[in-house]
Amino acid sequence: MTADRPASHLFYQSRLRRPMLAHGEGVYLWDSAGKRYLDGSSGAMVSNIGHSNPAVLDSMRRQMELSTFGYRLHFENEPAERLATRIAERMPEGLDRVFFVSGGSEAVESALKLARQYAVARGQAERWKVISRFPSYHGSTLGALAVTGMSLMSAPFAPMLREMPKIPAPTCYLDRDGRTLEERGLRYAHMLRDEILRQGPETCLAFIMEPVGGASTGALVAPDGYYATIRAICDEFGLLLICDEVMSGAGRTGRYLASEHWGLRPDIVALSKGFGAGYAPLGAMVADNIIAETVIDHGGFVHGHTYAGNPLACAAGLAVVDEIDRLDLIAAAARQGALLKGRLEGLMTRFPFIGDVRGKGLLLAFELVADRATMAPLPVELNAHLRLVDIAYEAGLIIYSRRTRGGRIGDHFMVCPPLIVTDEQIDEIMEKLGGALEAFATEAGL
């Protein structure tokens, strides 16, 4: 096989090339040609406190002068110690053991492995199945992929994966069955019970879900009763509940953890994205103290990564938590999220092909449809999820999209600016988005 000499030696998923990033400040990014973009998706829902926050940069500079690496088996380090304490303070009672990693997939891998070791330590070695939802996204490493409900991503690796059982995500907004929303939510929750019984409860280890969905479902939120029912079913059959808050955590939905909205107490939480807020590759698995202690007592947690608890990454994370508090950004996420969601809903009168607006706080999305009454998706050939993003990008607005092929959810778009977004910047998002939707409608003949 031959190929032309590459224009770049970087190797990504595809040949898509974007302009060169020059710098960022607040909610804006500039490319090397001087063009300004409003970061309306915080990258991939990462840059929660905006770009180039001076306090975070200062904290990182100070830490760099002291040390940037000390291996875990040779030294403890203060930023890691302090960050673990700050995070534990924000967690539900008893969920206070913080295991640092460098990203979301690692946080999920760590959660799966800890759950498994906990079962083995308690003499339940037959428990290994982790039930998850379809669609869902939990990461691209093989373990996280096994619980990810996106067949396009996992299919090429099928022989290398131990396929895990999946139940449908609670896409109640698509159901037209005459039941109330709450009844529809409970129907989805009870699918977990059915699946556990089908698999054999004695083989089931855990259930993993995103309390507010990420890009795979477009900020899917279940009706209130869903969450307590899921917790009760996990308890009834002895499954651990793992909440993947990689995207929804660190304040984005208007609470530190999205699960707090429903008083839902997970046994293990995965955090990343807004946790390091784009300043350092950082993630964490936060576990119930009893789980952590039991595993340590039975020979230790057989897992870890070289960069875990890196002092520079943790100094960044510490400053991010401080900035979230100083700027009251969790309240801002709730307030500005309500404003932005209302404005997105307002677009539905102008554009009949917007079928749904959903989400919580500043974890928001809208979905495009061919027919709002039936929620039939737009024809695949329109490539709406790519075209609208490109049109908006040209206009200087970054949004994030996906189409879950083969699933029931169509083209959906995350509108998730940094939590520092002002009213005027929301106006700017809406103006650019409105223009992009207009241009897309003309192009697509809608």
Q: What is the binding site for ligand PLP (CB under 6 A)?
A: 44, 103-105, 108, 137-139, 210, 214, 244, 246-247, 272
The minimum distance between CB 348 and ligand PLP, in angstroms, equals 26
The residues with which 100 forms a beta bridge, in sequence order, are 284
| Residue 324: how many other CB atoms lie within 10 Å | 23
- C-alpha distances (whole Å) from 87 to each of 65, 317, 393, 442 are 25, 10, 35, 48
The minimum distance between CB 197 and ligand PLP, in angstroms, equals 27
The minimum distance between CB 143 and ligand PLP, in angstroms, equals 11
Nearest to 404 by CA among 167, 172, 214, 157: 214
**C-beta nearest to ligand PLP: residue:** 104
The minimum distance between CB 313 and ligand PLP, in angstroms, equals 13
- C-alpha distances (whole Å) from 281 to each of 275, 276, 284, 344 are 9, 7, 11, 31
The minimum distance between CB 244 and ligand PLP, in angstroms, equals 5
Residue closer to ligand PLP, measured from CB, 43 or 337: 43
Residue closer to ligand PLP, measured from CB, 186 or 219: 219
The minimum distance between CB 138 and ligand PLP, in angstroms, equals 5
The minimum distance between CB 137 and ligand PLP, in angstroms, equals 5
The minimum distance between CB 273 and ligand PLP, in angstroms, equals 7
d(Cα 409, Cα 218) in Å, to the nearest integer?
9
The minimum distance between CB 371 and ligand PLP, in angstroms, equals 29
Structure tokens at 225: 């009763």
The minimum distance between CB 108 and ligand PLP, in angstroms, equals 5
Residue closer to ligand PLP, measured from CB, 218 or 410: 218
Structure tokens at 315: 């100094």
Residue closer to ligand PLP, measured from CB, 403 or 432: 403
Nearest to 396 by CA among 437, 442, 432, 344: 432
d(Cα 134, Cα 157) in Å, to the nearest integer?
17
The minimum distance between CB 373 and ligand PLP, in angstroms, equals 31
The minimum distance between CB 179 and ligand PLP, in angstroms, equals 28
d(Cα 163, Cα 267) in Å, to the nearest integer?
23
Residue closer to ligand PLP, measured from CB, 227 or 353: 227
Residue closer to ligand PLP, measured from CB, 138 or 432: 138
Residue closer to ligand PLP, measured from CB, 214 or 361: 214
Residue closer to ligand PLP, measured from CB, 138 or 184: 138
Structure tokens at 362: 């500043």
Residue closer to ligand PLP, measured from CB, 246 or 264: 246
Structure tokens at 222: 């279940």
Residue closer to ligand PLP, measured from CB, 59 or 132: 132
Residue closer to ligand PLP, measured from CB, 276 or 355: 276
| 369 and 361 Cβ atoms separated by less than 8 Å | no
Residue closer to ligand PLP, measured from CB, 195 or 210: 210
Nearest to 368 by CA among 360, 377, 359: 377
